[in-house]
Amino acid sequence: MAKELAKTYDPQSIESRLYQKWLDKKYFAAHVDRSKKPFTIVMPPPNITGQLHMGHALDNTLQDILIRWKRMQGFEALWQPGTDHASIATEVKIIAKLKEEGIDKNDLGREGFLKKAWEWRDEYGSRIVSQLKKMGSSADWDRERFTMDEGCSKAVQEVFIKLYNEGYIYKGSRIINWCPVCKTSISDAEVEHEEQAGHFWHIKYPIVGEDGFVEIATTRPETLLGDTAVAVNPDDDRYKHLVGKMLKLPLTDREIPVIADAYVDKEFGTGCVKITPAHDPNDFEVGKRHNLPEINILNDDATIVNNEYGGKYAGMDRYEARKAMVADLDAQGLLVKIVDHSHNVGTHDRCKTTVEPMIKQQWFVRMEELAKPAIDALKNGDLQFVPDRFDKTYLHWLENIRDWCISRQLWWGHRIPAYYCDDCGEIVVSRTAPEVCPKCGCKHLTQDPDTLDTWFSSALWPFSTLGWPDKTEELDYFYPTDVLVTGYDIIFFWVIRMVFSGYAHTGKSPFHTVLIHGLVRDSQGRKMSKSLGNGIDPLEVIDKYGADALRMTLVTGNAPGNDMRFYWERVEASRNFANKVWNASRFIMMNMEGVDTSNVTLDSLEDADRWILSKVNRLAKDVTDNMDRYELGIALQKVYDFVWEEFCDWYIEMVKPRFYAEDNAASKAAAAWTLKTVLITALKLLHPYMPFITEEIFCNLQDEEETIMLSAWPEYRADWDFTEVESRVEMIKEAVRAIRNVRTSMNVPPSKKAHVYVVSDKEEVRDAFTAGKNFFASLGYASDVQIQADKTGIADDAVSAVTADAVMYIPLAELVDIAKEIERLEKEEKRLQGELARVNGMLSNEKFISKAPAAKIEEEKGKLAKYTQMMEQVQERLSQLR
């Protein structure tokens, strides 16, 4: 039996209660069940430093929609949750907190600092998880993992040792991104490129033994201390004669060669490029091709080195040195000019410091071979992006991939399992500290102090969370996973690393589909950021409007891969929709009370019932098709349109008379059964998007099932296909709209009922109106409905409303008091005559036309057109009435 819903929909009173029920009942739990097909999504692990933002809200809403849908379709659906240790972000936060307490990281020592880090994780690590729960996220929280838990750490160590033994991991000197504040290498993912106003400094490099010079242009003049060549294009006729000659490096006592390399763009700048292999990735590659020395001129804090290369600038900050060097160049007559120049500058996303490209001894992964299976996966269809335009981004990155720097100069993270012999320097990579050096027998070995890049562990996330490297039941059943949902901004940082890691360690792609979403921007289209102060806190939205309204707002109009704008008005519209569903459900449940529907069959339904049943039947098919194609926004829009328009605005209004009439138990039962059946179907289609309100209504509407979450997803049924009935009812709806338009144009209030004649020479049309006579009368504000083949008996002054299939006539006298209407229209005619006389007078006055502003003249012309049209309508109406 249906229970009663509260008078008003209050999300705050139901959401936390329902979520706790779902947790207590273990509805989110997934188990190895060989009788069912698995469906798996791994949650992109949020940082333990994280606070829920709109990006998280969108990302997790999309995942929850998919997982709830598949759960209802009968899959064993696992949404694997977890959090990321986020090496740099967390270490930065902990150092800042220690600083406030007057504690220096180095005074604590490594073990003391790690103790503080784990305390931080215990205190803040679950914060974002509790916030995700407020969103309604139905992840299997009993399986929650952490990138530094015992199992994930074991997987990381296994992969490092395996790749090292296979020759894919090596230690060497290459260009990396260096943060001078955090004093660590950072990945490309942690470098934000922003447009900054800068300069091109044009500098003369004198030719040794000649009077001439070459002119180079640089945005970083301080790096010239590390120059080891100047390069020109081999096809550049201007400089061919200089190749092989030596140049005097300004501000130093060194000489450097002129080399020829196709890397140089003849058309850009002066066509001469200073080559600084230790401080530019492109220069590094040029240097390797020409066997150039690599001179590092910066300390870890971005001050100039204190040696023969630093010279008089030793110890200066990089920008201080830049000023001093530019002044010296100018004094020596070597500064040609300074030109304003905007260019992209890489900054560390955590501390906002400008990153320095520097040569460092680091651990790297050789990527060329590992990338090949990941490229093939997309080309042979084992992996697909939705939308597929992101294929290009993925392939471009993989086909131009460089070796991956995986070491970080941090304490928080997975420590590199490499040990160095104190005597002979032998490197031993091992699960545990070796007791003796295998090369010289020394018993003193020291572990590498560095930790691994955070992405190294998150690259293993799809399989490490399921127990790999152990051969677990979960890994065998739930892996490969199905869909990865993520933003387009980390395709190359995370998605690519998961794919090549999946192939390298499991032989399979970790998922078959990558669903890409865009960013949530503010109402002006700007990226949300702390600096702009335009961020919207999802928790604030939930507190004000409820999680369902937020979820619906994030998905409405959302297309894969596209950015969306956040408007508070849209949240209010989502809340209004929730209210509409709630109030309609209350009406249905009140009218179902005491109605016996046990004998209702499809044959006992009326046309209106079959129409809405057929509509919801097709809706189930269409929505499922859209969701299969990951068109989640389109699917939601279809459910919204159906519920608001077809179900609430039409069908409920159609059946109201059947509940108020006496002695029609069978008709009332058919309406009650249909209302309940269609509402339950619609609630199920809406559930993945708005889980809380649908659960609350479902559990009060029926008592056969204890939760909508585990009820069956609606499927198309052939016996619910009433296409012919649909066309009949749509014909009546069109007639209702025509009548309403006529009444509106005549300002007739809905309360004023009138006789309606339906005239059609087609028998099937007359039969359709006869079958739908009751609801047609109600919706068309008819006191009585007469259906006939011709105009016999209809007054000449009757107002007509025309559709393709029939003409509806309404006696004019029943719509308006003719005498009073003529009187009103005559007054209106007089008023319009005055307005027209005034406007025509102004527009025929030459003085006005010559002196008035053009905008004023146009305004008066507009009034003339408007009043003329109104006069025509009034006079036409008067002639009809007279």
Binding-site members are 530
> DSSP class of residue 648?
I
Instruction: Give backbone dihedrals phi and psi of 127, rounded to 5 degrees, phi first.
Output: -60, -50
Residues 6+ apart with CB under 8 A from 678: 612, 613, 616, 647, 651
Residues 6+ apart with CB under 8 A from 307: 314
Cα dihedral 739/741/743/749 (nearest 10): 110
Task: Report d(CA 868, CA 874) in Å as an integer.
Answer: 10
How do strand 754-759 and strand 564-565 relate by DSSP bridges?
Answer: unpaired
Task: Report d(CA 207, CA 247) in Å as an integer.
Answer: 4
Q: 686 is written with which tokens?
A: 């809406």
Sheet holding 418-421, edge to edge: 427-429, 418-421, 445-447
| Helices 632-641/607-628 angle, 10° precision | 170
Residue in the structure block whose two tokens are 């991104």: 177
Task: Report d(CA 414, CA 158) in Å as an integer.
Answer: 12
Task: Report d(CA 787, CA 765) in Å as an integer.
Answer: 10
How do strand 229-232 and strand 272-275 relate by DSSP bridges?
Answer: antiparallel
As a whole number of Å, the CA-based R_g of the chain is 37
> What is the b/e burial string over 467-504, where b = at least 16 CB atoms within 10 angstroms of the residue's CB?
bbbeebebbebbbbbbbbbbbbebbbbbbbbbbbbbbb
Compute the Cα dihedral for 695, 698, 701, 705 and give only its sign.
Answer: negative
Q: Which amino acid is at 116?
A: K
Query: Cβ(459)–Cβ(501) under 8 Å?
Result: yes
Q: Which of 590, 588, 548 is nearest to 571 (CA)?
A: 548
Annotated binding site for ATP: 530
**SS3 of 455, please?**
helix
Query: Cβ(455)–Cβ(497) under 8 Å?
Result: yes
Q: 295 is written with which tokens?
A: 């001179």
Quote the strand ranges of 499-645, DSSP E.
513-517, 520-521, 564-565
Instruction: Give backbone dihedrals phi and psi of 71, rounded to 5 degrees, phi first.
Output: -60, -40
Query: Cβ(760)–Cβ(783) under 8 Å?
Result: no
DSSP letter string over 128-179? HHHHHHHTT----GGG-EETTSHHHHHHHHHHHHHHHHTT-EEEEEEEEEEE
Residue in the structure block whose two tokens are 């207590």: 24
What are the helix and strand counts (H, E) for the chain? Answer: 29, 29
How do strand 356-365 and strand 169-179 relate by DSSP bridges?
Answer: antiparallel
> DSSP class of residue 414?
P
Query: Cβ(731)–Cβ(805) under 8 Å?
Result: yes
Q: Which of 286, 288, 459, 451 is nearest to 371 (CA)?
A: 459
Query: Cβ(739)–Cβ(44) under 8 Å?
Result: no
> DSSP class of residue 95?
H
The distance of Cα 265 from the centroid of its chain, to the nearest Å, equals 38
Task: Report d(CA 858, CA 840) in Å as an integer.
Answer: 13
Q: Which of 475, 465, 496, 556 is nearest to 43 (CA)?
A: 465
Q: Which of 814, 842, 834 is nearest to 757 (CA)?
A: 814
Query: Cβ(362)–Cβ(408) under 8 Å?
Result: no
Residue in the structure block whose two tokens are 């720097």: 405
